[in-house]
Chain A
Amino acid sequence: MEDAAPAVHVSPSPHIGSTSNSTRRMMIDVLIALTPAVAMAIYMFRVYALIHLGLCVATCLAAEYLFVRMRGKSISLNDFSAAVTGVILALSMPATAPWYASVIASAVAIGLGKIIFGGLGMNIFNPAMVGRAFVMISFAGAMGAAAYESGAGWVDAISQATPMNALKQSGTWTPIGDMFLGFTNGSLGETSALACLLGGLYLCYRRTASWEIPAGMIATVLVIAGIVDLVGGHGGRLILHHLFGGALLFGAFFIATDPVSSPLTPRGKAIFGIGIGALVMLLRFLSGYPEGVMFAVLLMNAVTPLINRWTIPRTFGEF
């Protein structure tokens, strides 16, 4: 019996790995990019923002720990993905949302949105939007468009209607400057177009987010809003209203760019962005809701596998 020959294992290429491209680094990038929006939310909504941020992040982390333990997998809290889901979810909540809405939304986001499909990387839908849709439909009275407005709050911002709802319901225009800087009512993180742009451009620069998705989404919104603006004779005001208003920029940069639930190829990403933009405008103009980013993202998430199949790149030499 002679000794076994020494085995040399050569795996297929690539042989050079890059540790800078880890999930953890991407998630930290997203957290950095969210800083301006978080700061603006705390500045505008004070203690409301802190309550929802605290509840969402704490519940997301706890739910991730609990559900991953239940599945018997190794704990993955230190990749920060649950924390990112928590922050994005909190920033998409209205300031007036009851505390239990944040807790339930976070538990649903992690449990039903992510872990039940197999954890990070396996989820079909954007977890934060699954959680938000669950509580939005459940507690329509406490979370719907009209509930954003409350005279009994501790901060001034929530005493006014959101810009999207004001225009849709009563035809009142909000000054575009306020919408750009964020001195309006709305979901916690969406009010400031500037903060979302700053964070979003950082994400695109770091290539953590693919630029094709926000570009496709914003371009589509500009085109559709432009046509409606021309037909209605608003002199360009409607375009800026739809660009800076609602969750468009927040959604374009932070929600739609979730690498798990968006398509893989550049062409697919552009189609994905265009689809979301078109659905957002459809919902804004023709549905009962003043805003439609959440449902638009969820609907396009559902067709992501189809887009992936359409846009398989042709290998060299194939016709």
Chain B
Amino acid sequence: MADQPTPLERFIRGILPENPVYRQLLGLCPTLAVTNSMKAAITMAAAVAFVLVCANTVTSLIRNLLKPHLRIVVFTLTIATFVTIADRLLAAYMYQMSKTLGPYIPLIIVNCLIICRCEVCASKQPVFTAISDAAGQSLGYGLALASVAGVREILGTGMFFGFRVLPATWPDWAVMVLPPGAFITLGLLLGAVNWYSGRGAK
């Protein structure tokens, strides 16, 4: 097992080299849907991080009990448990944000990023490795959401986290807050990340 990455390497890989959004193109639905403001994007990223770390931990703890043909069902039930917790917590303590995010918090259940990490890492690795992997992936996911949301919120409203960063005369690019802006921003940022990584490889 000499070629296995260490927990620290797994953590770092999640940030850019194996970034869930920019490298694996996983979990794009929330990336497109809730990134019209930084607050919503960060809340979403935090919810995903909570679910991912908890699901990875539990999956890793029960990895020796898993039957191969039932593992996906077990993963899904584990994830669904933590998504329900996250959903109810948001509804209880951040009611407005819970309304804003709407169905996208329950939809974390079907976020392929989480089931992917359960399958490729947590179901085969000890707990500490699984947690560091989940933390790295969550951080990468959060950074990706924040980058898309930052561009969209600044161009679309002239604000960042609700604070005005561009002069009040800034003409709001309404299209950036609307769904097409998500596709345009994500596409351009993907291209930029590819260009940046490709440049380093040469």
Contact = CB atoms under 8 A, between A and B. Distances in A.
Q: Do A and B come from one complex?
A: yes
Mostly, the B contact residues are: helix
B174 to A, nearest CB: 5
Contact of A112 (B173, B178, B184): B184
Contacts of B173: 104, 138-139
Nearest to B191: A116
B17 interface: no
Interface residues of B, number: 10
B171 A98 contact: yes
Interface residues of A, number: 12
Interface of B: 171-176, 178, 180, 184, 187
A100 B171 contact: yes
Interface string A272-283: 000000000000
Contact of B176 (A98, A112, A138): A138
Interface string A76-112: 0000000000000000000000101100100000001
Mostly, the A contact residues are: helix
Closest 10 CB pairs of A and B: A138-B175, A137-B175, A138-B173, A138-B174, A139-B171, A134-B175, A100-B171, A137-B174, A140-B174, A112-B184
B178 A137 contact: yes
B136 to A, nearest CB: 31
A27 interface: no
A249 B112 CA distance: 49
A101 to B, nearest CB: 8
9 contacts: A100-B171, A112-B184, A116-B187, A137-B174, A137-B175, A138-B173, A139-B171, A139-B174, A142-B171
Given A137-B174, A138-B173, 18 more contacts: A98-B171, A100-B171, A101-B171, A104-B173, A112-B184, A116-B187, A134-B175, A137-B175, A137-B178, A137-B180, A138-B171, A138-B172, A138-B174, A138-B176, A139-B171, A139-B173, A139-B174, A142-B171
